[in-house]
Amino acid sequence: MWYQESTDTVYNYKQQITFDGVRYSSNVFNNPTVLESLGIYPAKYADFEDRYYTKGAEVKTFSDSEWTFSWEEVPKQFEELRQELIRYWLLRLDETLVSTDKYLTRASEMEEWFSKWEINPAVKQWRDSVYLTFNSRMNSVTEAVTAEGLIIADGQPFVLPAQPPIYKVEEGE
C-alpha cells in the first residue's frame, strides 16, 4: 500500500497513475525513487485494539519514509462493552465444551452401541472445572461497575484445565 499526501490518495495495489499530466504504468510502484519524486510513499495501517475501543479520528504520521494510518481510541460505552464481553465469554465456553458435549448428552446411546468402551469419568470432572473457571470470569465481568473495571476483569489470566481423554481405553486402562 502507498499514500500520496498531496492528493490524499491511497493506492492499495499497483496500478496505472497519472500525475501532472504524465501517465505512469503500474510498474512505477516497483521504483521507489520515482515514487518519492511523485510524493508517493509506502503506507501501512497500525493495529487497532477494537475489543475495548471504537475508532475515532484518523491520524496519519510520516516517519522513516513511510506513512502510518492509525485512529484515536474512543472507549466503548460501559453497557455496550459489558454485553460484548458477556457474548465473547459465553461463545468461548461453548467452543471449549463442544468437543465433549455429545459424549455426555448422548451417554445412553453411547453405552448401548459402544458398551465395551467406558467414557472417562474425568471428562465430567473436567467439564465441571471448565464451568467453574468460566463462572469466575463471568462473575468478574458482570459485577464490574466501570468500563475500566471491565477491562481489568477481562484482562486477568485465564487458564483452562487440560481436557482428559474421552474413553478410558485411551488412558491405557
Please say if the pLDDT value at position 22 is more than 60: yes
Mean pLDDT computed over 110-120: 75
* Alpha helices (runs of H) in the chain, residue ranges in sequence order: 32-37, 78-105, 107-113, 121-143, 147-154
pLDDT at 169: 64
Residue 170's pLDDT is what?
Answer: 56
Q: How sure is the predictor about 24, in pLDDT bands with cuts at 50, 70 and 90?
A: very high
Among 164, 70, 68, 69, CA closest to 118? 164
Axis crossing angle, helix 147-154 with helix 78-105, rounded to the nearest 10: 30
Per-residue pLDDT at 109: 78
Domain boundaries, the chain: 2-75, 78-171
Q: Across residues 66-76, what is the average pLDDT? A: 96
Report the share of the chain in percent with pLDDT over 70.
Answer: 95
Cα separation, 50 vs 136, in Å, equals 24
Question: Please, are residues 29 and 11 in contact by the beta-carbon 8 Å criterion?
Answer: yes
